[in-house]
Amino acid sequence: MTVYFIGAGPGDPELMTLKGQSVLERCPIVLYAGSLVPREVVESVESTAELIVDTAAIDLEEISAHIEQAHKDGKDVARLQSGDPSLYGAIGEQIRRLEQLGIDYEIIPGVSAVAASAAYLGKELTLSGVSQTLIMTRYEGKTPFPEGERLPQLAKSGATLAIHLGVTRIHKIVEELIPHYGEDCPVAVCYRTSWPDQDKVMGTLKDIVVKVREKKFARTALILVGHVLDTDEFADSYLYAKDKAHVFRPKVKPASPRKIKR
């Protein structure tokens, strides 16, 4: 018996990996939070698996009880997680419990909200000469933060920021970022990216609070901050530069273009 932590992706069923879908379809028990994972993701197993859809409303002990019973019955469990399980998926404590019980598990990665939101915006988050670093974090609330990872410390880098679980405190986020990024720094807030009702708003640190409140985004939103969101002032990368050779593109080119044999 194995528990599979499967990344269900950001919402669009087609953004779940082929491996994730394949494993899901052979598991007789599926645990997932219906508020975070659309029903369409599990449509293919509704008639073949036992679906436990209210995991957002139960605690770790209750989740573990379902898994322990499945273990006794010799049944694999698909534990669907929104986005990628290893990023704010709260799987660490679940894995710790499984290891204590001697239950096997496997993590199947998924498309994160960051990747989906960048695609939704039509942006590259790493541009030559603008930003080569992306910091994924969340705003401090009930979850304790290491001192060196609080937002003002991270902001000192000037890197592109992807801030999860912080839209209700966006006014505080803006206050902490302006000293490091300036009021004119571009900001994008993406709401329920890839869901049918997805929405977004673009602005700057100066006006994004008003724009977000006009949209009434209250949860399930990602905040992206950085100059990569609104600039044409960046250098071409070396990857395809004509005068930059590398192992796959030597300076001396073959007489005729290389063709792939079928």
Q: Does 134 share its domain with 164?
A: yes
Determine the pLDDT at residue 4. 97
Residue 100 belongs to a domain: yes
d(CA 22, CA 242): 42
Establish how many alpha carbons lie within 13 A of residue 201's alpha carbon, considering only the half-sphere containing its beta carbon: 17
How large is the average pLDDT for residues 98-126? 96
Q: Are 135 and 216 part of one and the same domain?
A: yes
Give the phi and the psi of residue 17 in degrees, each rounded to 5. Answer: -70, 160
**Considering the domain boundaries, does residue 192 fall inside one?**
yes
Tell me the pLDDT tens digit for each residue of 119-138: 999 999 988 888 899 999 99
- Global pTM reads 0.87
Q: What share of the chain is helix, strand, coil (3-state, %, to 5)?
A: 35, 20, 45
Query: Quick one: 94 and 125 in the same domain?
Result: no
CATH number at residue 62: 3.40.1010.10
Domain count for the chain: 2
In a domain, 255, yes or no: no
Question: Is 20 contained in some domain?
Answer: yes
pLDDT tens-digit map of 226-253 = 999 988 777 777 566 666 666 666 666 6
Do 93 and 117 fall into the same domain? Answer: no
Domain extent at residue 40: 2-108
Do 126 and 212 share a domain, yes or no? Answer: yes
Task: Dump pLDDT digits (tens) for 181-226.
Answer: 999 999 999 999 999 999 999 999 999 999 999 999 988 999 999 9
